[in-house]
Every structure is written in structure tokens, then in C-alpha cells.
Amino acid sequence: MKVAGKHYRTIWMDSKTGEVSMIDQNALPFSFEIFIARNYQDTCHAIVTMITRGAGAIGAAAGFAMAQAFMEGARGEGRGVNSADYTLEQLFFFDKVRKEIEATRPTARNLFYATERVYNAGLISVESAIREAQLLADQNIADAKQIGEYGSKLVHNGSRILTHCNAGWLGFVDYGSALAPLYIAKEQGKEFFVYADETRPRNQGARLTAWELQNEGIPHKIVPDNAGAYLMSQGLIDFVIVGADRIASNGDTANKIGTFEKAIVAKEFGIPFYVAVPFSTIDFSLTDGSQIPIEERSEDEVLTYSGPDSEGVMRTIRMASPGSHALNPAFDVTPAKFITGFITEKGLVKPEELADFSLDKPLKH
């Protein structure tokens, strides 16, 4: 997508130097900055601190981090760049780094999908690791665009749409998942309105989704997280669309905390609830959502609030009762029965059809 007329991917890697550049999502929407990760540790730091975030972007970052580790591990005298040349020490290193990367954001399925793919490629050669990581980033864009094409059919002139968190292009390498259909619909000349949940505690909706929508010229309003039931009861929402961080084979879906509540309310009011995801977010090794690990983040995210003061200096203030502690689960799991359909790169899939698909199987209808 474009920022001030210039096209950007959310994250990219220089195959020669191994440097990974990413849009700093903690600086947005107040300033537009690029963070450069010179090694896999920097990239892991960026994932943990949410400089880069969102299922798809985390996946790309994890793939790049794994490739950086192969570049680093294979550097130096007497060390090979092909599997046959790897020493035991190098192999231990690659394995250790893979575990380190996978510990950064445990709920995000795309992260594990990417580390596995790049790790296996890296065992062939360093070159293969780099190629695979770049390929995953390109695939991420292609899938997101396809999701956008299919999902745009659900958007009509006058549609009023509710979304939660940020599943826009910042959450992927480009286009996004939940917002991709809206970008394509906008390109098709459709006029519609978006309500963006603020998405406490980190406010990805108020900060990132709102910034993206504004950037694309899509009319929208930020709404408090607890306004969903009211809006739906007033007949103000035609459908809900969200992204996902991990989906079990039965369709149970982990997404940003608060998603589950929206899905229950949507069902109560007979409002369609869509989840937009690439198949790389589906974890076919899990039978249901109870097996999805839920990341718990620092209580500071709940107890404090950050933003620029009148001079533009970033400040963090406490906004909760001093002495109280907070619980901060980052995700919840929406049972499949509340989900109308998954908008995927292979088309619209009903929850009960999901298990029939794997990455290699084409959609039957």
C-alpha cells in the first residue's frame, strides 16, 4: 500500500546483507518510521515488542529471522553454506534459534509455519533459506490480495462493517486479511462505512486500523470496544469481519481478545460474522480451539496508556488505580458455531468444510 504516494511493504529483507526493514507499528500513527533489524535477535526483539505485529507480518518476520540465523550461523572461516558442510555446532545453533523465534509470540500460527518452512530450506543451503523466506513474504501478499478479491463480493454500496483489532496491510506484508476486501471494494468504486473497534489494551484499532482506513480514504469511525452490542442492536452493522491468529481444524478461531464477544452478539442479532485468513493461519494439527496456546502479555499494557504530549514527545501514563494488578490475555478463541464463514485465498469456506482442506488441496466448489 502507499504512504504519502510511495509504495511500501510492511516488512522486507535485503537478501545480500540480511537486514530486515519494517514499518515501526509502535510509532504509528504519530510518526512513520522504519526499524532495521540487523540480525535475528533484533528481529525477535521487534516481534516481542510489537514493532511488527499481526499474524501475517509476524509470519514474514519469523521467516526472515530464521534466514538471518542461517546467514549468521554459516558465516566465518571453514564453515559451510550447504547442509553437507554444516558442523554439529551450527546445526545446534539453527535449532536453538528456531525455538527462540517460536517463543516470541506463541499464539500466531503463521510464525510456526514460517520457521518450519525456512528451517527445512536452510538445512539444504543458506541460499535456500533466504529464497524461502522471500517466497513466503511474496506468498503472503498474493494470498492477501486473493482474500481481498473474494471478500470484496460481500461489500456493497452502503454496507456498514464492524472490524476488531488490525488485520489490515500492517498486519500482513501487504493488503491484509480482514481489511483486504475493503481495499479491493474501494478500488471497485463501492461506497461503504467501517466501524473500527479501538481494541484495548494496545489500541490496534484506534491507532492502526483507523490510520490505514484514513490513508485509503475509507469513511470510518473508531468505536469503544464495548459499543458492539449497542451498534448491532440499533441495526447499524451489516456484517463483522476480523482476521485470525490461529484456527483449529474444526474452525475454532483465536483472534485478538474481544473478538469472541463480538461473535456472540452478532449471532444474537443474526449478523454475519466473517473471519478473513490465509490457509497458513490454520493449524490442522489441532482438533479444536482448546489446544491453542493463548499468549499473556505484560500487565503494563492494561494499566498504562501511551501517546504523544502536546510537544509530540511520547509519554506513558498510568490510568488505573495505583497498586492494582491486571490480567492481560492477548487473544480469545471464538467457537466455530459463531462463525459464518472463512474468507480465504481459495474462496469462502464454511467452518464445517475446513477440515476437508489442507494447503495442497484445491477448493471443491
Interface residues toward ligand MRU, by CB under 6 A: 53-56, 165-167, 171, 177, 204, 242-245, 255-256, 330
Buried b (16+ CB within 10 A) or exposed e, 78-113: eeebeeeebeeebeebbeebbeebbebbbbbbbbbb
Distance CA 278, CA 274 (A): 13
Which of the 8 DSSP states describes residue 57? H
- Nearest CA-CA partner of 63 in 161, 159, 172, 165: 172
In the annotation, is 225 catalytic?
A: no
163 phi and psi, to 5 degrees?
-135, 160
Q: Are 55 and 177 in contact (CB under 8 A)?
A: yes
User: Would you say 9 or 256 has its CB closer to ligand MRU?
Assistant: 256
Q: Quick one: DSSP state of residue 255?
A: E
141 grid coordinates: 501478499
Closest to ligand MRU by CB, 152 or 255? 255
* C-beta of 122 vs 181, nearer to ligand MRU: 181
CB of 348 to ligand MRU, least distance (A): 18
Q: What sign for the dihedral angle of Cα 66, 71, 74, 75?
A: negative
CB of 241 to ligand MRU, least distance (A): 10
CB of 92 to ligand MRU, least distance (A): 30
Report the alpha-carbon distance of residue 227 to residue 189 in Å, rounded. 29
C-beta of 15 vs 49, nearer to ligand MRU: 49
Helix (H, G, I), strand (E, B), or coil: what is residue 39?
A: coil
Q: Minimum CB separation from ligand MRU for residue 243, in Å? A: 3
Could you give the strand order of the β-sheet that contains 239-242, starting from the edge strand earlier in sequence?
A: 220-223, 193-197, 160-163, 239-242, 273-276, 341-344, 347-349
Catalytic residue among 24, 143, 225, 245: 245
Find the shortest distance in angstroms from Cβ 297 to ligand MRU: 8
Enumerate the active-site residues. Answer: 245
